[in-house]
């Protein structure tokens, strides 16, 4: 079948579930994954054909997309900070906002500590996207990563191998940890922060397919992970070490107050590209 003709079928089949721009995006993500071709390649070769086996693969993806399964889980991979990451139902799909958090850390550490061997730890690493991106871009560093999910760490270890970096992965329930036993220059975390009362704002493809363990917290203690990680930071951050969080956009003020009351200094709140309060940096 001529792929350009199949594109029309693909767009039509998904038109009741997604908007046209998102469907176009899906089409070209699959084109790249299955055929290693870009939009320009199809434009230059409109007669490009796919065989019966390839058509079956496309149809399988189409079927999953109709169920609103995330394209990243269907293909088993995604891109984050210019790197390839494997993902599955045990790991959150990395978000662009988290890339901004990585960028903020890299800008700060490269500017302030260019010639220092850094020790960094990512708490709640999931796919390993934060830890691995930091390790890839901070060659003179030691990076560790913690997660409560053994299955998530299996995926994170594979991603470290794919991206050719050394990361020390640790299986640990951070809520049951009283000491990290190492002094770190940077502690970073993107912990669960979506309150149950906000579930109505969550898209179906996230709510039904992504791991709730990594997403949700109880309404009556939404800052549970932030408080615990900040307590550990007071013990395990080196002098003038830095703590970074990705946060719930609705709880910026409350998170700042928590950190102020715990004695952190130089607290800075940063918005993401969408104008939402999304990241906090502070020092011990």
Annotated domain spans of the chain = 3-67, 89-283
The span from the CA of 169 to the CA of 148, in Å, is 11
Structure confidence by residue, pLDDT tens digits, 116-141: 789 999 999 999 999 999 999 998 89
**Whole-number average pLDDT of the chain:** 92
The span from the CA of 21 to the CA of 12, in Å, is 13
- Residue 203 — very low, low, confident or very high, per pLDDT cuts 50/70/90? confident
Structure confidence by residue, pLDDT tens digits, 30-66: 999 999 999 999 899 989 999 999 999 999 999 999 9
pLDDT computed for residue 220 by the predictor: 83
What 170-177 contacts at long range (C-beta under 8 Å, 24+ apart), as own/partner pairs, is 170/144, 170/145, 170/146, 171/146, 171/147, 172/146, 172/147, 172/148, 173/148, 174/123, 174/124, 174/146, 174/148, 174/225, 174/228, 174/229, 174/232, 175/224, 175/225, 175/228, 177/232
Residue with the two structure tokens 């000491």: 179
**Residue 143, SS3?**
strand
pLDDT computed for residue 67 by the predictor: 94
The percentage of the chain sitting over the pLDDT mark of 70, rounded to a whole number, equals 98
- Residue 115 — very low, low, confident or very high, per pLDDT cuts 50/70/90? low
Structure confidence by residue, pLDDT tens digits, 59-93: 999 999 999 999 999 999 999 999 999 999 999 99
Fold exhibited by the domain 89-283: Rossmann fold (3.40.50)
Q: Give the dihedral sign, CA 274/224/228/120.
A: negative
Structure confidence by residue, pLDDT tens digits, 133-190: 999 999 889 999 999 999 999 999 999 999 999 999 999 999 999 999 999 999 999 9
CA-wise closest residue to 73 among 194, 190, 206, 193: 206
């Amino acid at each position: 079948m001529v792929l350009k003709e199949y594109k029309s079928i693909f767009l039509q089949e998904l038109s009741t579930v997604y908007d046209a721009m998102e469907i176009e995006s899906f089409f070209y993500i699959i084109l790249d994954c299955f055929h290693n071709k870009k939009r320009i390649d199809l434009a230059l070769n409109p007669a490009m054909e796919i065989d019966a086996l390839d058509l079956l693969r496309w149809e399988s993806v189409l079927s999953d997309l109709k169920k609103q399964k995330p394209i990243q889980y269907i293909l088993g991979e995604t891109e984050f900070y210019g790197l390839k990451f494997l993902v599955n139902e045990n790991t959150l799909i990395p978000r662009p906002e988290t890339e901004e958090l990585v960028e903020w850390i890299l800008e700060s550490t490269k500017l302030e500590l260019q010639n220092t061997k850094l020790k960094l730890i990512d708490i709640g690493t999931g796919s390993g996207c934060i830890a691995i991106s930091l390790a890839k871009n901070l060659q003179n560093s030691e990076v560790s990563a913690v997660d409560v999910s053994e299955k998530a760490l299996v995926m994170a270890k594979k991603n470290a191998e794919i991206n050719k970096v050394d990361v020390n992965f640790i299986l640990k329930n951070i809520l049951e940890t009283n000491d990290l036993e190492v002094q770190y220059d940077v502690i970073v975390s993107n912990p669960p922060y979506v309150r149950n009362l906000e579930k109505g704002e969550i898209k179906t493809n996230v709510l039904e397919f992504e791991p709730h363990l990594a997403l949700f917290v109880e309404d009556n203690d939404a800052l549970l992970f932030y408080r615990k990680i900040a307590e550990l930071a007071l013990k395990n951050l080196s002098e003038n070490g830095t703590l970074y969080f990705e946060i719930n956009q609705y709880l910026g003020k409350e998170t700042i107050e928590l950190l102020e009351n715990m004695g952190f200094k130089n607290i800075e709140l940063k918005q993401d590209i969408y104008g939402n309060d999304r990241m906090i940096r502070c020092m011990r």
